[in-house]
Structure 1
Amino acid sequence: MSFIWALIVGGVIGWLAGLIVGRDVPGGIIGNIIAGFVGAWLGQAVLGDWGPEVAEFAIIPAIIGAAVLVLLLSFVMRAFRKAS
């Protein structure tokens, strides 16, 4: 059950990051979950484990990390579309 909870929280983090940045996460729901997990890992690695925690995600660093990841992904995807 904790794995399902982590998937839900990861998806919400990825969705919030997309809203903050103003860009869609490529891949829909799966993309949101992946962006949430990878962004949370990056955010906690760089910023630490401070703030409230849900499903072992420190929410504030996770959202910041996911927002940066979504922004970088959107720039890379745009560059690939222009190059083709």
Structure 2
Amino acid sequence: MSLIIFLIIGAVAGWLAGQFTKGAGFGILGNIIVGIVGSFIGGFAFGLLGLSSHGLIGSIVTATVGAIILLYIVRLIKKA
């Protein structure tokens, strides 16, 4: 059951990050991948700042922030 929740959080976070950065999602698989990678980045960034997230909403926020950071870095690399 936790794998399904993990995938749902990834999909929601990826979709939200797409909405914030370029105005569209990346398809269900793309959203899941962006959200999952974003959750690791967000967890690392929040840890550096001494912040922690609890519960479903906290996990979605952390993953979304990480996914936005990921998409920003990818755009910087694509421009170079």
**Offset at residue 66 of structure 1 (A):** 0.5
TM-score w.r.t. length of structure 2: 0.73
Matched, 1:68 2:69: yes
For the 8 Å contact 2:38–2:65, the answer to whether it is kept is yes
- Hey, what does 1:21 align to over in structure 2? 21
Hey, which of these two has a bigger chunk of helix by percent? Answer: 2
- Hey, what does 2:44 align to over in structure 1? 45
Give 1 or 2 for the bigger CA radius of gyration. 1
Tell me how far apart the structure 2 counterparts of residues 29 and 75 of structure 1 sit (CA, whole Å): 24
For the 8 Å contact 2:12–2:60, the answer to whether it is kept is no
Tell me how far apart the structure 1 counterparts of residues 42 and 4 of structure 2 sit (CA, whole Å): 21
Hey, which of these two has a bigger chunk of strand by percent? Answer: 1
Q: Deviations over 1:57-79 (max 9, x none)?
A: 633222111111123334445x4
Structure 2: give runs of 5+ residues left out of the alignment: none
- Hey, what does 2:11 align to over in structure 1? 11
TM-score w.r.t. length of structure 1: 0.70
Query: What root-mean-square deviation, in Å, do the aligned CA atoms of Structure 1 and Structure 2 show?
Result: 2.6
Q: Give the number of aligned pairs.
A: 77
- Hey, what does 1:54 align to over in structure 2? 56
For the 8 Å contact 1:52–1:60, the answer to whether it is kept is no
For the 8 Å contact 1:52–1:59, the answer to whether it is kept is no
